[in-house]
Amino acid sequence: MGAYVLSRSATVLCPHGGVIIHVPVMHRVYKVLGEPVMLVNDTYNVAGCVMLYRPCMSVIWVSPSTLLYVRGVPALVHTSIGLVTSAAEAPSGPAMITTFQTQVMEPTTFTNES
């Protein structure tokens, strides 16, 4: 069974409750329920992390979809794994995908959308 495609309306948190903000790096026509799809190479900033010593700053996604690509870039799905890092790129823990749309799943065969 496939995984649900993550769109901009998904809620992703750092291990300390900070909100991860999706910033697309390119314009795309392909959308899910009217929202831009989250891609592995987009920018993901963290806001509101409560860690005082090394607050979470960004996310590096290590397991995007292997079936859905948008303009040659892998999309993120609800089973994707992201590593949250501090400004010094020290790992802080996994990103937590807490909410996501449940209507559109990745395809069952490789697809490269525009």
Rounded to 5 degrees, what are φ and ψ at 39? -110, 155
CB half-sphere exposure, 112, CA atoms < 13 A? 3
Q: Are 107 and 113 in contact (CB under 8 A)?
A: no
As given in the structure block, the two tokens for residue 82 are 């992201």
Whole-model pTM: value is 0.93
77-102 pLDDT tens trace:
999 999 999 988 889 999 999 999 99
**pLDDT at residue number 1:** 63
Q: Summarize the confidence of residues 67-72 as an average pLDDT.
A: 94
In the DSSP assignment, the letter for residue 29 is: S
Tokens of 59: 């996310």
Phi and psi torsions of 78, nearest 5°? -65, -15
Strands 68-70 and 111-113: parallel
Q: Where are the domains of the chain?
A: 11-102
Q: Read out DSSP for 38-50?
A: PBTTSEEEEE---
For 10-30, how does the pLDDT look when each residue is reduced to its tens digit (9 = 90+)?
Answer: 999 999 999 999 999 988 788
